[in-house]
Amino acid sequence: MSDDIKKGLLGIVVDETTISQVMPDINSLTYRGYAVQDLCEKCSFEEVAYLILNKELPNKKQLNKFIKSLEENRNISINLREIVKHMPKKAHPMDVARTVVSVMGLEDKEANDNSPESNMKKAIRIFSKTPTAIAAFFRARKGKKIIPPKKGLSFSENFFYMCFGSIPSKEIIKAFGVSLILYAEHSFNVSTFTARTIASSLSDIHSAITGAIGSLKGSLHGGANEEVMHMIKKIKKPENAHKWINDALDNKDVVMGFGHRVYKKGDSRVPTMEKYFKKVSKIKNDKKFYKIYDVVKNVMIKRKDIYPNVDYPTGPTYHLMGFDTDFFTPIFVLSRITGWSAHIMEQHAANKLIRPLSKYNGEKHRKVILLNQR
């Protein structure tokens, strides 16, 4: 392949952004200039969502207004609830997530208004309603009654309530909120770039987020958190972990939850998530997963010098919280809607159609032979 081709856009800077900065050399990720670790310890997910969408951390009054608008927009239409109820029970929840956002676009009166004011209102609606639709499917596919959202609950509490009918301890809610903060934004990753590319044709926010969900689903991106859990389940017990991972590496398998396009010496989100994974393991009195986690991680670093990414600790953490494995990536969606929305608005504010070139190396100058002579 010729040198002027940058397959996978490796190392290519395509635009400017003020939303987040990934600095692999100092192992740091910042949202609007704030280190994520700091945000995780000092802020709620709602504060961080506000920051990503509005560029500044909110004061109390701004936060209360934001929370109120989220609560007011949580209900989904009867039409959407019926659609979710009748979706195939075996459908992958990521396909459900992609479809429900698309349906919300059909129902949104401002669907084709790309003004900043309209985009912000639509972002809030998508951010508020998607958890309701996802939780509805979580229950509907098990034949359980759908639980509507409840006012007065935080984003995380409300999601647990809609899925399980109860709210876990403060520590579990904090761990879940931390995972949402860590998943909220990560510059020009595949799904965000997809969203920006769609928005760059002046298409609308529902279309861009629908496309982004399709992109996040893949196992090289968000889908990795589900794959991590499948791997841990296959390993079964800590005693098996050493042989399992060494065999996988001998076999030249790609090990999910490891490696990153940008971070080559470790994902800056991992230490924070690991801390909360450990806390949840302790609360649930289940050290098995953590032991398997450690063995696999140590072998990967020792043998391959490849470090975990954030999907590695989130997978087993969500499992311990009681979520079905195929709901892990949809949870990622709930959070990343904030980052995608901010990027779509940034793209619309200083738009340039995204249209790279390709190098043609197919057949050249062929004459068309008529059908009856071929």
Ligand X SMILES: CC(C)(COP(=O)(O)OP(=O)(O)OC[C@H]1O[C@@H](n2cnc3c(N)ncnc32)[C@H](O)[C@@H]1OP(=O)(O)O)[C@@H](O)C(=O)NCCC(=O)NCCS
User: Looking at the annotation, which residues are catalytic?
Assistant: 221, 260, 311
Least distance in Å: CB of 191 to ligand X?
11
Residue closest to 342 by CA, chosen among 184, 222, 210:
184
Query: Which string of x and - marks every residue 197-226 that binds ligand X (by CB under 6 A)?
Result: -----------------------xx--x--
82: tokens are: 């019926």
Stretch that binds ligand X, among 40-48, 235-243, 253-261, 335-343 (CB under 6 A): 253-261
What are the φ and ψ backbone dihedral angles of 90, each rounded to 5 degrees?
-90, 0
- Contact by Cβ (8 Å): 239, 296: no
Please identify, among the stretches 130-138, 207-215, 250-258, 282-290, the one whose residues bind ligand X according to the rule CB under 6 A. 250-258
List the x/- string, 65-94, binding to ligand X by CB under 6 A. ------------------------------
Contact pattern from residue 40 through residue 69 relative to ligand X, giving x for each residue in contact according to CB under 6 A and a dash for the rest: ------------------------------
184 lies in the site for ligand X, by CB under 6 A: no
Within the chain, residue ranges assigned H as helices are 36-42, 45-54, 60-72, 78-85, 93-107, 116-140, 155-164, 170-183, 190-200, 205-216, 224-235, 238-250, 270-283, 288-299, 311-321, 328-349
The DSSP string of 179-230 is: HHHHHS--SS-HHHHHHHHHHHTT--HHHHHHHHHHHHTSTTTTTHHHHHHH
Please state the closest distance from residue 313 (CB atom) to ligand X, in A: 12
Which two tokens mark 95?
A: 């396909």
When the beta carbons of 8 and 362 are compared against ligand X, the nearer one is 8
Amino acid code (one letter) for 18: T
Q: Quick one: 260 or 348, whose CB is closer to ligand X?
A: 260
Do 103 and 83 meet the contact criterion of CB atoms below 8 Å apart?
yes
Q: Which residue is nearest to ligand X (CB)?
A: 259
> Which parts of 258-277 interact with ligand X (CB under 6 A)?
258-261
The count of residues interacting with ligand X (CB under 6 A) is 16
- Name 97's Cβ contacts closer than 8 Å, sequence gap at least 6: 130, 133, 134, 213, 330, 333
- 230 lines the binding site for ligand X (CB under 6 A): no
- Minimal distance, residue 221 CB to ligand X, in Å: 6
Residue 299 binds ligand X (CB under 6 A): no
Q: Which CB sits closer to ligand X, 154 or 309?
A: 309
Residue 311 as a binder of ligand X (CB under 6 A): the answer is yes
CB-based contact 94:223 (threshold 8 Å): yes
Residue 309 lies near ligand X (rule: CB under 6 A)? yes
* 257 lies in the site for ligand X, by CB under 6 A: yes
Distance from first CA to last CA of the chain, Å, rounded? 33
Q: If you ran DSSP here, which 8-state letter would residue 263 be given?
A: -
Calpha distance 60→101 (Å, rounded): 30
DSSP secondary-structure letter at 373? G
Residue nearer to ligand X on the CB measure, 196 or 260: 260
Q: How far is the CB of 238 from ligand X (least distance, A)?
A: 20
Q: Is 254 in the site for ligand X (CB under 6 A)?
A: yes
What is the binding site for ligand X (CB under 6 A)? 8, 220-221, 224, 254-261, 304, 306, 309, 311
